[in-house]
A and B are shown apart, each in its own frame.
Chain A
Amino acid sequence: MSPAPPPSSSNPPLIELREAVKTYVSAAGSFTALKGVSLTVQAGEFLGILGKSGAGKSTLLNMITGVDHLTSGEVIVQTNGRAVSVHELDENDLALWRGRTLGVIFQSFQLLPMLTLVQNVMLPMDLCGLYRPRESRQRALELLEMVELEDHAYKLPTFISGGQQQRVAIARALANDPPVIVADEPTGSLDSVTADNIFDLFERLVETGKTILMVTHDHGLMPRFSRYLRIADGELVTEEANA
């Protein structure tokens, strides 16, 4: 295990994992998915996490988002100028913290099928209470405009394509204007042209100051990250920064 520091950083890292271990116990025995991973992410990075299926990429992401809990170790995320120990938060605090701090994007989009696109984007604002209802609708429409879906704002998710649904998921991830976007195989279900468009969108978001962590098994995307790390069998094996 060789935790490598990120390129030149004077500020404390935005995200820091210290000796993160995750072990699953089942009837078949125990299985360690993360074996003491340490990692830091600076604000403004576009970090790619690469690895084969079952390597521990999604588990790593789940530890950062607080979706799953560490067996041992620490996850610390700088939030509004203070360090939050994610692994110490309870489910309710986690939900609120996640809603305000992180935008999460999945391979399968995970839009609520009974809500229109604009309502899907408004949902995090409604739940976290950062925006008033009228304000949140306006903001949701602006976000949909940003992902070029304003014309479809009042459609249900089933009436748009997969690529469009993923763009809505990105808009939803940005709803509460979180500093960090976490994406788990966001282009995995999309054709290459659509995937490229989505990636362009991510790059534009990084340019606006967002920090993006993205899990993928597509090695072709490596050059487009500001930094990437490979994970295999629950351990970081390589970590490289692009110029």
Chain B
Amino acid sequence: MRPRWRKVLSDLVDNIARTILVVSSIAVGVLAVGVIAGAYVIISNDMSAGYAASHPANIEIRMDDFDDDFLNAIQNFEGIANAEGRRVFGMRVRSVGGTQWTMLNIVAVQDFEEIEINQLTAIGETGALGKNEVIVDRDVLDKVDAQVGDVLEFQLSDGTIKRLQLVGTVRDPATNMDDFLAPPAAYITMSTLPALHQPENYNRVYAIVDSGQDDDTHIRAVATALKDKIEKSGHAVHSTWRSKTHEHPLAATVNAILGILMALGVLIVFLSSSLIANTLSALLNQHLRHIGVMKLVGARDRQIFGMYLALILSFSALALLIAVPLGGQGAYALARYTADEMSFSLQGYRIVPIALVIQIAIGLLVPLVAGFVPIINGSRVTVLKAISGNLVQGTGDQAEGGAKRESRLERLQLRFTQMLNRRGIQIPRPLLISLRNTFRRRGRLALTLFTLTMGGAIFISVFNVRVTLHDYINAIGNYFLADVTLDFDRPYRLNEVKQYAAQVPGVVTVEGWAFANAEILYPDGSTADNMSILAPPAESELVSPILVAGRWLHPDDKKKLAVSDAILDLFPDLRVGDNLTLRINRQDEAWQVVGIFKFVGSQRLLAYAPYEYISLDQNLANRAYSYYIVTERHDRPYQEMMAEKVDAFFRDNGFHLREAKPGLSTLDAAVESLDILVAFLLIMALLTATVGSMGLAGTMSMNVLERTREIGIMRAIGAVDREVMRMVIAEGMLIGLISWVLGALLSIPFTYLLATIVSLAVFSTPIEVIFTPTGFIIWMVLVVILSVLASALPARNAARLTIREVLAYE
């Protein structure tokens, strides 16, 4: 090997710690981007492909009971390629011996083996489904604490219990994908329905259109026509849902979230590039004398440039060797996790070419860009400067051949110290040295602070965003303020329920609510979307709406409603006072919008109208199916205890109670989904913090290495090991604390930015930002620990050196 390349190899292997630092800085960025880019591609492809593979229904119609003959008519309807009927109803389930009931959607199918629409994916050994057997969604196993082979208890409406054998688990990649609040499902055959006191009829239609399966306009036209036909034949349609075949309902949301993670990944690359620039700059400074010697014996700029370019490319190659395979695995793991959470199948492990190209491009380009200036400066240094050890940059103002000028910062420090001295405050001399040392390499300090500050700012922001999202979910909980909700199978008189409820210790008030399902119609009469109308008493204290415009309900409001802001997606020009045409119980009526409130902007459109009007309209005056109870305390354990108590009490008294559930449980699924997102954000924040602390560790080692001679001199004039270590650690801590202050300040705009992007992606609406001290405190503790750790090792090495070694240091 030629001597110059031999030198490059030596530079690579002789200082393993430095090589590891640079290689890991590159690798972290490449890995982060590789994982996100790979996962993005895999998820985008497989999510929709997996969804399409399950043959999702383009139209789902929830209606009253119908039989096989009627289903045949639907199957033969023009524009429909295939249709299946199912019966879906809610029921409480528990394992034998269990005390906790879980609400499940029971889905009855004609022949489990022959499902053609919304096909299920069997998990493990899931065999044929027979009479009096049940197969559950895999999420159910944990909730009811059961295994395949166990027997599950189903509570019928009269309070009796029916046992069914659990014979398998499945995953449903197609149903209720966009409904965070839908309960998990259990599947039975139609022949099991009588055992559960249910008629052997369907109540849902799942249909696939014969063409234009990805054309929402076409699907809507077919759905509208089909619905008309159903209604004309005397059936009531409660709601209709539409979906494209090749577009997962949550694809946009997932892609937006992955986009946010990608942005953070790019930021990590950016941060690692400053770390690389720092390290290479220090390396070039350390190699200045070598460069001088090489130039002295004939090396030209481009030869020196080529050598260090080769060194950087070697760092890149090593980083790619580590990060590319790990990135591929990580991408697949992330995709698998997402697929698992969202119930879709992956098409198997594969290398994503575009992710590979991005990784290689980043792995090569970022270090080259980051190292370009240090290399150019290093290769252009004159022999005189190189041989005399005059550093090329960041040394302060060194005049040629003259004394170093005192910088403004140094003068400021001096004046500050003098001022303290005059007031009798003595800063210990070693601490003063640490203070001075901190600001000696200002270019390096700036890059280190930048990296650490960005890491800290993101770290703190993620905590703020988490609180912001939770706060928003809690604000959404303002629409579900009850501590216990009761759903009955039949309507009961308000007074009767209130009287009984009052007998349960702990119950404070009870409200009866009404509900209606409506279709919002376009002016041409076609259905724009479905909407649920909740009807609490107008004076209800159980709803605390976040009004965007207009007012809340009045008791005398007739055909007036407050609607969630998601309505603006359908009618962007809608204003308070405008009318909406709603179809309720086959009647088309104009309803006036009196208020618009903020709510989770999913496809779930929600409106509130006063109970006083809706109950009359539904011939349910002074009666209700649903009751909302306020208890003495509002914490989750108390709510759960009260739900059990109220449940038992009403059943014991002969009420046909479907379910009593604690109020806060409504938000469980939403909180769970958000926590997954926050976990991802936190992983990215930790990665940025890791890059930041690596930057600090690198800086401290470089600082100590460059000051080896100084340390030797200090030891020669009496500084003991402890003193040397203390000085180095104090310097590290000072950098850490400065970065904390800067990071805390920067976290404020970051929080706003991140919260807005995330809320737009998840809720389709910007939300109010909340700050929490948690992130600030944790990062403070973490940055101090990281600073101490990052400087302790170089400090220990510095303290260990003998005077002879350090004074001999070249």
Contact = CB atoms under 8 A, between A and B. Distances in A.
Interface of A: 24-28, 31, 62, 65, 67-68, 91-92, 95-96, 98-100, 104, 106, 110-115, 119-120, 122-124, 126-128, 133, 172, 175-176
Contacts, number: 99
Contacts of A128: 297-298
B405 A27 contact: yes
A205 to B, nearest CB: 17
A115 B7 contact: yes
B3 A99 contact: no
Nearest to A118: B3
Contacts of A96: 298, 300
A114 B7 contact: yes
Contacts of A98: 296-298
Contacts of A106: 387
Contact of A176 (B10, B298, B300): B298
A178 to B, nearest CB: 10
Contact of A26 (B293, B297, B384, B400): B400
Interface in B6-26: 6-7, 10-11, 14
A95 B3 contact: no
A24 B10 CA distance: 37
Contacts of B383: 67, 95
A110 B296 contact: yes
A172 B2 contact: no
Nearest to A116: B6
A26 B296 contact: no
B204 interface: no
13 contacts: A25-B400, A28-B402, A31-B401, A67-B384, A95-B299, A96-B300, A99-B298, A111-B293, A115-B6, A126-B4, A127-B297, A127-B303, A172-B297
A133 B387 CA distance: 27
A25 B405 CA distance: 13
B425 interface: no
Interface string B402-416: 110100000000000
Contact residues on B (Cβ < 8 Å of other chain), bracket? 20 to 34
Given A126-B3, A133-B2, A26 B402 contact: yes
A106 to B, nearest CB: 8
Contacts of A27: 399, 402-403, 405
B390 to A, nearest CB: 12
Contacts of A119: 3, 6
A123 B291 CA distance: 12
Contacts of B297: 98-99, 104, 123-124, 127-128, 172, 175
Contacts of A126: 2-4
Given A110-B289, A127-B303, A122 B399 contact: no
Given A27-B403, A31-B401, A115 B10 contact: yes
Contacts of B298: 95-96, 98-100, 124, 127-128, 176
Nearest to A26: B402
A177 B384 CA distance: 23
Nearest to B290: A112
- A95, A172, A176: residue with the most chain B Cβ atoms closer than 10 Å: A95
A98 B382 CA distance: 13
Contacts of A68: 384
A91 B2 CA distance: 24
A128 B383 CA distance: 16
B293 A110 contact: yes
Interface in B385-429: 387, 399-403, 405
B382 A91 contact: yes
A92 B402 contact: no
B557 interface: no
A91 B305 CA distance: 14
Contacts of B7: 112, 114-115
B706 interface: no
A127 B298 CA distance: 6
B301 A92 contact: yes
A95 B386 CA distance: 13
A199 B292 CA distance: 25
A106 B386 CA distance: 14
B382 A28 contact: no
Contact of B399 (A26, A62, A110, A113): A26
Contacts of B294: 112, 123, 127
Given A27-B403, A112-B7, A67 B300 contact: no
Contacts of B289: 110
Contacts of A112: 7, 290, 293-294
Nearest to A97: B298
B661 interface: no
A127 B299 contact: yes
Contacts of A120: 3
A160 to B, nearest CB: 15
Given A26-B400, A27-B403, A114-B11, A123 B4 contact: yes
A182 B387 CA distance: 15
- B3, B290, B383, B405: residue with the most chain A Cβ atoms closer than 10 Å: B3
A115 B297 CA distance: 15
